[in-house]
Chains A and B, each alone.
Chain A
């Protein structure tokens, strides 16, 4: 459990304490009249003055809190317990239970709350004993629906299935697994119900149907003050303040509780301003590579301080070339790609560096200028095509939309170009498939559609981030072959981001290996695969399943988190070549010859070990 925000807790606790302690507080009798001093202004004996019958306003206000809160909390609590129970049963136990609970709630919902209240009170007479079950009934459907909807979204999760596989009974699954996971929305509903119950109770008391006068209640006080509004306007103010203040406090409390019980709550983000300085003249790259990225450094503000998930990354991609960026999850490769598109998440910002795409610097562009470039000069394709496509539009229309976002073509022309693009990405029968919705196509097919959208405006640079990770091996091979063909046919630069070195080894021209936010090795694919010069690359190569059917060798340990980077070489804790001097200072990226870069001070030992392994073989 995280820390609970203190403000709302203290506020609600104070109100609750007062409501509970009212009988023992030194207050005057809330129903004792003093006609002589009716409507008297505040005085030392009566801090908030006296009402139309000369009764002490403060005392009535606090006793009113007791009755309002008591009724509201009891009613909301009753509704919460019964409603959550019914929702769980309806959602988890199947058809029959579902029908009974949900339909009976629909019947309750047919009556407007006020009509229902008037009906019940007419039958049973006013008073607290009627109010509590009545308000509980009014707010019951809300709880049932929230709980039911929660169960529906949770019950097919793998962790619920895991409990079934373990042999857990239904009661255990409902109480231990499902209930905690739907607790957040139920708490919110609870706050809403208390606040609404306070209001409805006050309304009914205002009408004389709730708490029976002369017993004090906020609604009754408002009703009485209305009659003397002209002479004593303050009398109206106190109960109204009490009412709205309490309702607000309850809402704030429940927000705080919901945040606190969520173990993976995202800390509030601070707005990130761009802090990049302008480039010094003379630094401007012209001509040359499609992408020239220099010294990209990204910072993220976290509650524990600023971390640096990408540091000093420099890359170049030439037209018609495939550069594969390989690294484990968390190595910063996605963030680097997103930075080039100007799509960093709000918490992250570019702290240093420059990136030229066809000679134009893109890290310093504003949003409008970025939009003109995105899709046109540089496009990006993501891992999960299901989340990248709009489920309610036909895929042909989505491709056409991408074309029209950048080019003034007629809808007709865009449609026929879209069909042509679908054909180019290897979708058979594109005329018919263009009319399909995303859910009608398989993952591999959708990824082809995403590629069609990516190349729709002839970008010079295509960034593909883990585009095959969600696909079958057979489809992976197809998609990689397609990307390689397209880059050749269109002469674009392709930045292929992946964790799977083997997958890109056959198509990449050059490979950059990233580890813990830094490039640790970069070189031509042939050289890097045959003679890795960094222990991490070597370990990666060994961790791929071997041709001989032996078990792959695992790299011990895990990637350090950006919060806990080692002082020296980031790979040192897992490195078999480690020596004491590796841990003193971060090793620089050095050229080992032939544009083969490595961030290891013992690269020659690594090279020697490869050579000796070859002589043995």
Chain B
């Protein structure tokens, strides 16, 4: 099957404004390639600031890439006329993270769900109401809810409304940008089930953005792990989560809290925070926090290399399986100090 959406070598810089310092570009996304097939669910995972949302907006054509290109059905988004791009929007929709600010507080939710239908004149005005009612039913709400205002709903219900609005145009691809991270755990499950169900029922391509690997695992076919805008690891979800190759993926996975004492893993507590994307470390961008770092990691950017069937990782080491995190922690302290010294000089 031909993919719905293909991204090739996608990159995006933002001009950082400094008052007294020389402005340097912030590389929010660098050299990302991916493709989404119809009905496929891809999980995009990384910490805050890793470029997940920027990548989502690039793929939707909401933001112009500084390098690379996005093809939808073979058409380059950057070459489309604005009016054609607007028409294409029908096929690709976005679900926002914050269920509160993503709905217009002053309009009834039914009208907001109907916007996409009205903009693209999908059904005659007389049938619009019935269509909105059908959409509300699809996300598990009642038709009468359409006459209410957003503040009358709980977070989980608002997120359903956001999903209904995105589905109104009959999209082939849904980009869901952290759709559950603002919700209570108990409500997250409802929304995840809804997305899984819609994907199966409507054959939606799904790009699911999250910082929580546990959430991604249950929903996605493939995962892509981002750090500082670069792909660290990608592959089939089950494979990557069962046998993560890249140290960053391991750390992310070990941070997921578990209710089951038997599954409690040895936690790799990553020290510190990601470095500033305006000043990424040389070589492997993860090396300042990597418990397994080697001197060689600083010399060249490790390329994504195959480590399994459809499974690729951007780490130069293949011998990590045994090295315990404790040993690694000591190693790490040394190199952090080293990096900070380098920077101070």
B-contacting residues of A (Cβ < 8 Å)?
Answer: 157-159, 161-169, 172, 176-177, 180-181, 183, 261-264, 328-330, 428-429, 442-445, 471-478, 481, 499-503, 505-506, 529, 539-541, 543-547, 549-555, 558-559
Residue of B nearest to A328 (CB): B184
Closest to B210 in A: A473
Minimum C-beta distance from A151 to chain B (A) = 14
Q: In the bound complex, do residue B214 and residue A168 qualify as a contact, i.e. CB atoms below 8 Å apart?
A: no
A360–B138 Cα distance when bound, in Å, is 54
With A549-B238, A555-B186 in contact, is A158–B96 under 8 Å at CB?
yes
The answer to whether A473 touches B105 (Cβ under 8 A) is: no
Task: Identify A263's interface contact among B49, B106, B169, B212, CB under 8 A.
Answer: B106
Once bound together, how far apart are the Cα atoms of A418 and B3, in whole Å? Answer: 56
Residue of B nearest to A180 (CB): B106
Q: Given A540-B185, A552-B189, answer yes or no on A162-B149 (Cβ-Cβ < 8 Å).
A: no
Q: Beyond A159-B103, A473-B252, A505-B259, is A165–B238 a contact (Cβ under 8 Å)? A: no
Does the CB pair A165–B259 fall under 8 Å?
A: no
Whole-angstrom distance from the CB of A470 to the nearest CB of chain B? 9
Contact A166 B116 (CB under 8 A): yes
Output the residue of B162, B169, B260 with the most chain A CB within 10 A.
B260
Contact residue among A163, A262, A558 (Cβ-Cβ distance under 8 Å from B115): A163
Are B255's CB and A158's CB within 8 A? Answer: no
Complex alpha-carbon distance, A112 and B212, angstroms: 59
Name 16 interchain pairs, CB-CB below 8 A, sorted by A.
A159-B104, A162-B102, A166-B115, A167-B116, A172-B119, A176-B107, A180-B106, A330-B154, A442-B48, A472-B48, A472-B211, A539-B186, A544-B259, A545-B189, A554-B193, A559-B154
Q: Given A162-B94, A472-B48, does the pair A169, B86 have CB atoms closer than 8 Å? A: yes
Instruction: Tell me if A502 and B215 are in contact (CB < 8 A).
Output: no
Once the chains bind, are A543 and B185 in contact (CB under 8 Å)?
A: yes
B256 touches A167 (CB 8 A): no
Query: Cβ of B257 < 8 Å from any Cβ of A?
Result: yes
A329 engages B155 (CB within 8 Å) = yes
Q: Which of B262-270, B291-299, B311-319 contacts A (4 or more CB under 8 A)?
A: B262-270
Report whether A502 and B186 are in contact in the complex, using a CB–CB cutoff of 8 Å.
no
Chain A residues with Cβ under 8 A from B237's Cβ? 549
- Are the CB atoms of A168 and B119 closer together than 8 Å? yes
Contact bitstring B239-282, A, C-beta under 8 A = 1, else 0? 00100000000011001111111011001011011000000000
The verdict on B60 contacting chain A, using a C-beta distance below 8 Å, is yes
B189 interface neighbour in A164, A429, A553, Cβ under 8 Å: A553
A473: chain B residues within 8 A (beta carbon):
47, 211-213, 252, 255-256
Instruction: Flag B132-172 by CB within 8 Å of A: 1 or 0 each.
Output: 00000000000000000101001111000010011011000
B334: Cβ under 8 A from any A Cβ: no
| Cβ-defined partner of A551 (8 Å) among B151, B185, B196, B238 | B196
Chain B residues near A445: list those with CB within 8 A.
273
User: Whole-angstrom distance from the CB of B345 to the nearest CB of chain A?
Assistant: 15
- Complex Cα distance A25/B213, Å? 77
Closest to B193 in A: A554
Interface positions of B from 59 to 100, Cβ below 8 Å from A: 60, 62, 86-90, 93-94, 96, 98
Chain A hits for B189, CB < 8 A: 543-545, 551-555
Query: Are A549 and B217 within 8 A (Cβ)?
Result: yes
Evaluate contact between A547 and B187: CB separation under 8 angstroms. no
Contact between A502 and B255, CB atoms less than 8 A apart: no
Q: Which residues of B contact A264 (CB under 8 A)?
A: 105, 149, 151
Contacts A162-B102, A165-B94, A329-B184 known; A545 to B48 CB distance under 8 Å? no
> Interface size on B (CB < 8 Å)?
75
- Chain B residues whose CB sits within 8 angstroms of the CB of A164 once the complex forms: 62
Max chain A C-beta neighbours (<10 A), residue from B165, B190, B257: B257
B101 touches A (CB below 8 Å): yes
Question: What B residues does A541 contact at CB under 8 A?
Answer: 259
Is the CB of B192 closer than 8 A to any CB of chain A?
Answer: yes
Q: What's the Cα separation between A163 and B118 when bound, in Å?
A: 12
Complex formed: what's the CA distance from A503 to B181 in Å? 14
Residues from chain A with Cβ under 8 Å of B35 in the complex: none
Q: Is B218 close to A, CB under 8 A?
A: yes
Q: Which residues of A contact B120 (CB under 8 A)?
A: 167
Q: Which chain B residue has the least Cβ–Cβ distance from A261?
A: B106
**B residues within 8 A CB of A444?**
273
Instruction: State A159–B98 Cα separation when bound (angstroms).
Output: 10
B329 interface residue (CB < 8 Å to A):
no
Contacts of A554 in B (CB 8 A): 186, 189-190, 192-193
Quick one: closest B residue to A181, CB to CB? B106
- Residues of A contacting B257 with CB < 8 Å? 476-477, 500, 502-503, 505-506
B54 on interface, CB distance cutoff 8 Å: no
Point out the residues of chain A lying under 8 angstroms from B157, CB to CB: 558
Q: A181-B106, A263-B106, A264-B151 are in contact. Are A499 and B259 (CB under 8 A)?
A: no
Interchain residue pairs A-B with the least CB separation, the first 4? A167-B89, A158-B102, A552-B189, A545-B214
Is A474 a contact of B196 with CB atoms below 8 Å?
Answer: no
CB-based nearest B residue for A177: B104
* B29 beta carbon closer than 8 Å to chain A: no
CB < 8 Å neighbour of B269 from A165, A181, A481, A547? A481
Contact check, A502 vs B270: say whether CB atoms are below 8 A apart.
no
Task: With both chains docked as a complex, state the minimum distance between the C-beta of A263 and any C-beta of chain B, in angstroms.
Answer: 4
Does B219 sit at the interface, judged by CB under 8 A?
Answer: yes
Residues in B179-236 with C-beta less than 8 Å from chain A: 184-190, 192-193, 196, 211-215, 217-219
CB distance from B247 to the nearest CB of A (A): 12
Interface contacts beyond A159-B102, A551-B196: sample of 12 additional A-B pairs, CB < 8 Å, sorted by A: A167-B90, A261-B106, A264-B105, A328-B186, A444-B273, A477-B255, A506-B264, A539-B186, A540-B186, A549-B218, A550-B218, A555-B190
Considering only CB atoms, which chain A residue lies closest to B90 in the complex?
A167
Residues of A near B88 (CB, < 8 A) are 167
Q: How far is the CB of A96 from chain B (nearest CB, A)?
A: 17
A553 CA to B238 CA, complexed, in Å: 19
